[in-house]
Structure 1
Amino acid sequence: MTLLELLVVLVIASLMLTLVAPNIGNVLPGSELKAFARQSAALLRELRSEAVSRSQVEQLVLDTEARGYRDNGEVVVSWPDDISVELSPGELPAFMRNPFVGDKALMFFPDGSSNGGRLSLALEGNGGYVIEVDALSGRISIDER
């Protein structure tokens, strides 16, 4: 009798697992956005580190057509379809601006500073995240909206 009960419980548990497991992603819609925000912040920190260690200007360019970030002309990270990304870079003096990039880049300089700016990530129907880049220190922080 107990072996039969145990088998019934195992069958019910396996049926529930097969029905519930594929829908876990739908329960947590903001998890993909949070992971992408962390990935974007990590990429910015890596670029800042490379600018300091190589003693050259590094920049992250926002490519809305390819839906990704570019570094040295190639797409480094692509973002998911349901996430929208906006960049509000800080103002640079005219002699430091890159005419080929325009206003869609965050730049990091060899001294660790940046042009500063704000990267806004949003998911339809949910809040979003704002990644702030401090111009003076190059510090990167993530804030939830």
Structure 2
Amino acid sequence: MNAKKNRQLGGVLVVCLAVVGCGERAAEPSAPATTMNREISLVTPTVGGPSREIPVEEEPARLLEKVELALKDSGVRLVQRGSATDGKWLLGKSLADRNVLVELRPVYPGRSVVKMTVEGGDLLARELLNHLYSRIQERTR
């Protein structure tokens, strides 16, 4: 009796695996779609609001870790990161639900500029920008 149930169960399992394995393959992305995705990834997001810049004597690759830690210290949650033709960027969301954009742009070898922009034009945005400015300045010294 058990042998018959085991054979039936095995047969059902084989049929299920055969049906699942015979499905259509996922479509490969076309060349224009691949090109469009690459171009979209090179675009830096924009945030409207006050901004400040800090000149730093480091490469953007080394700065990235320090800036991420400064964002976490300031209560900004990292949402997205990327790189464009003119440097790297980090997009975050503050505890006050404001977008924060930090751009790391190389000036020349060994020197970079960190540009911070906080969404909004009110006192809260300026205070967050000043706090973030001081945190990044502490980390990059």
**Which TM bucket (shorter chain)?**
under 0.3
Name which one, 1 or 2, has greater alpha-carbon Rg. 2
TM-score (norm 2): 0.26
Greater relative contact order, per chain length (Cα 8 Å cut-off, separation 6+): 2
Identify the structure with the greater helix proportion.
Answer: 2
